[in-house]
Amino acid sequence: MPMTAETRKALFTALSAALRRRSPPMVCIKETASACEFIGNIPVLYGSRKKIVPGMAFASVVVHRDMISFHFMPIYYHRAEFAAVAPTLVGYLKGKACFNFRNVDQIDGKELEALLKKGVQAWKKLGYVR
């Protein structure tokens, strides 16, 4: 069954609001009605050509027709640590760093906050934010 516009908006709002609460130190580089993206606040070398980018990708929320994707880069590096903090949310992890949600009830607010807090700590430790 396709998602309703209300469900899509509620999911997007919940996830993007949680990300906004974590900035600063994260910087919002894109915010539209269907996507938002946050990066670290320190320019870093990235890729095989070592190109300087304005900040390391932290997280983004993207609206799709039948789901909302929440891309969370810190979990790519330390999956076991993050799984301990947010065991329910990890159940919606598809791939290495992408969560797919179809219902507002799937998001545990406390786990999401703990996940984001731990992600900011990881980015500070890696030198991607001050």
Distance CA 123, CA 26 (A): 10
How many Å separate Cα 104 from the centre of its chain? 16
What pLDDT score was predicted for residue 36?
94
- Over 90: is that where the pLDDT of 100 sits? yes
- The pTM (predicted TM-score) of the whole model is 0.88
Distance CA 27, CA 38 (A): 5
Residue with tokens 């609460």: 21
CB 107 within 8 A of CB 101: yes
Residue range 39-64, pLDDT digits in tens: 989 898 888 888 888 889 999 999 99
